[in-house]
Amino acid sequence: MKRIGIVTSGADAPGMNAAIRAVVRTAIPLGFEVLGIKRGYAGLLNNEMQRLNLRLVGSVIHLGGTILGTERCKEFMTDEGVRKAAENLEVNAIDALIVIGGDGSFRGALDLSGVCDIPIIGIPATIDNDVAGTDTTIGFDTAVNTALSAIDKIRDTAMSHGRVFVVEVMGKKRGFLALEVGLTAGAEKIIVPEEKRDLGMVCDRLKESHNKGKRYSIIVIAEGVGKTQEVVDVIRTTCGYEVRLTSLGYIQRGGSPTARSRLLASLFGSEAVKMVLNDERNKMVGLKKDRIESRSLKYVCESEKPLDLNLLRLAEELAI
């Protein structure tokens, strides 16, 4: 009998539970035992683990967050922490580790793979979608839809009052969420860290729209751009419009996963176990052009996923 350890790490993302369920329900019928590691890598360092069974992952497919808990673990970022984690994998007789998380979690997994000799498989789950080696991540679609439905509500009041709304969405470093939310919300302008911020152009665009008879505008900005308040102030003083700022914040990280996030979680979870079965090592499962594909953790950690700037242009073309 082989024992698989499973851990959710870093920021939570809707669909992590569906992925845990898929891992457990693929692994156990194949004869594996599954050990759930609590609180991310912190639980690995403290031997906080629980044996999972088919029933324990019942009624979780629709739940946001992670039933295992998660943490950003500082101790694991040190050489000593990584060594201790490797020791604990051995102490707990874990023969393979499945890590569900984002780029930071995979950097940790890669470090761990350097000091232990068991297969480590990554499952990408982050609302930021900023993981190379996969077109999309678990939780991204849910966050897009959460932000979109919030903006649809904001639109009601923006339209009634004839105001400009600047809506800040999550995305610490990257603009994937802002781009997809902005495009699907019909935003006038989308501001992302991947493009130089030109507030003069933003103001010109707003004035142009105003002159064409538009009574209100929505601007979507990624948190990673920084200085959102400055954007608001410049629009207010340059254009003289009434401007309001809304930061959507953590509501984007919670909630029941969408069908798409659950589907992805189910596919990735099942595939990750099959990779363990085939003794594939130190890889991340991903989706490329609607096909399941895996890439090495090294590739994932050393590559940068490009943002499709054509979509930004499309959003602008359509918001005339």
* Positions that interact with ligand F6P (CB under 6 A): 11, 126-128, 170-172, 223, 253
Residues with Cβ within 8 Å of residue 2, at least 6 apart in sequence: 31, 32, 33, 95, 96, 276
State the nearest-atom distance from the C-beta of 127 to ligand F6P, in Å: 5
State the nearest-atom distance from the C-beta of 222 to ligand F6P, in Å: 9
Cβ proximity to ligand F6P, 126 vs 217, nearer residue: 126
Whether 156 is catalytic: no
State the nearest-atom distance from the C-beta of 128 to ligand F6P, in Å: 5
Cβ proximity to ligand F6P, 118 vs 169, nearer residue: 169
Cβ proximity to ligand F6P, 130 vs 271, nearer residue: 130
Cβ proximity to ligand F6P, 38 vs 205, nearer residue: 38
State the nearest-atom distance from the C-beta of 147 to ligand F6P, in Å: 11
* Catalytic residue selected from 12, 111, 128, 141: 128
Q: Which of 106, 51, 171, 55 is nearest to 302 (CA)?
A: 106
Cβ proximity to ligand F6P, 40 vs 119, nearer residue: 40
State the nearest-atom distance from the C-beta of 228 to ligand F6P, in Å: 13
Would you name the residues annotated as active-site residues?
A: 128
